[in-house]
Amino acid sequence: MPTPKPYSKVPINECHDHLVPIQGRHLTLLKPHPYAALGAPYGMYSPFFLRQKVLSRLQAAAIALQETHPGWAIAIYDAYRPIPVQRFMVDHTFDTLAQSQDLDSQQLRQCPDTPAAQSLWLQVYQFWALPSPDPAMPPPHSTGGAVDITLCDQAGEVVDMGTPIDECSPRSFPDHFAKAVELEAIAIHRNRQLLARLLKDQEFIQHPNEWWHFSWGDQLWAWQSQREMAHFGAITEQ
């Protein structure tokens, strides 16, 4: 069993903010949704839901974007993620990484203590949260407080951010291109800085290993911003 993330120790004082569909000016939904297309087991909500307080801040960031980049939009890749979907995608990522390294994922699952299996799981959990059903330590996306996003230009095209969302490599770290000297890489870093600045101005925090992941109100947000309590626990679907 992987070690729980350090932020999972932060207490949760659930504020019962509503989970609402993502809509608003200068916000666009990237469809078809990649996890749903894989068969991830979504319940009564779609991936394009967030807590109301989070959506309001995201909307404010999208409006602020117009001041320097008229016609651009914040594009939502993924938001609310039930715990079964988190588990599905963790397993899918493990299988995909194994395949990319010419390894047999089924055999590795049967021998989880081998160095090869442990190395793969370390790669997975460097980016993915534990799919824990424990209400004291929910995955960030399962709270409705986390969102994976990118930018679209005035033509509706996704801006170059250097990696696809969900790439499990150091290139996905927010500052990976900070010391770049090539013009293309400099532009990538500038795009990442723009996205991060917009969200941080609305008091979001950025995942330390993912240029695309931002959250407000969950345990990761509370831990990184040194708050005593998180506002959101996992959404309970009826």
The b-or-e profile of 209-229 (16+ CB within 10 A means b, else e) is ebbbbbbbbbbbbbbbeeeee
| Residue 128 resides in a domain | no
pLDDT one-digit tens code per residue, 166-195: 999 999 999 999 999 999 999 999 999 999
| Residue 108 resides in a domain | no
- Which residue range(s) make up the domain with 14? 6-82+141-224
| Residue 207 resides in a domain | yes
Q: Residue 237: its pLDDT value, please?
A: 72
């442990």: which residue's tokens? 118
Q: Residue 77: its pLDDT value, please?
A: 98
pTM: 0.94
Q: Is 205 helix (H, G, I), strand (E, B) or coil?
A: strand
Q: Are 162 and 38 in contact (CB under 8 A)?
A: no
The CA angle 98-102-106, to the nearest 5 degrees, is: 50
- Annotated active-site residue in 67, 210, 228, 237: 210
Q: Residue 43: its pLDDT value, please?
A: 85
pLDDT at 238 over 80: no
pLDDT at 2 over 80: no
| Residue 102 resides in a domain | no
What is the number of structural domains in the chain?
Answer: 1
d(CA 213, CA 168): 13
In angstroms, how far is the first alpha carbon of the chain from the final one?
29
> What CATH number corresponds to the domain at position 60?
3.30.1380.10
pLDDT at 1 over 80: no
| Annotation marks residue 228 as catalytic | no
How is residue 193 written in tokens?
């800085």
| Residue 166 resides in a domain | yes
| Alpha-carbon 49 to chain mean position | 13
| Residue 37 resides in a domain | yes
Q: What would the mean pLDDT of 193-216 be, rounded to a whole number?
A: 98
| Residue 121 resides in a domain | no
| Residue 236 resides in a domain | no
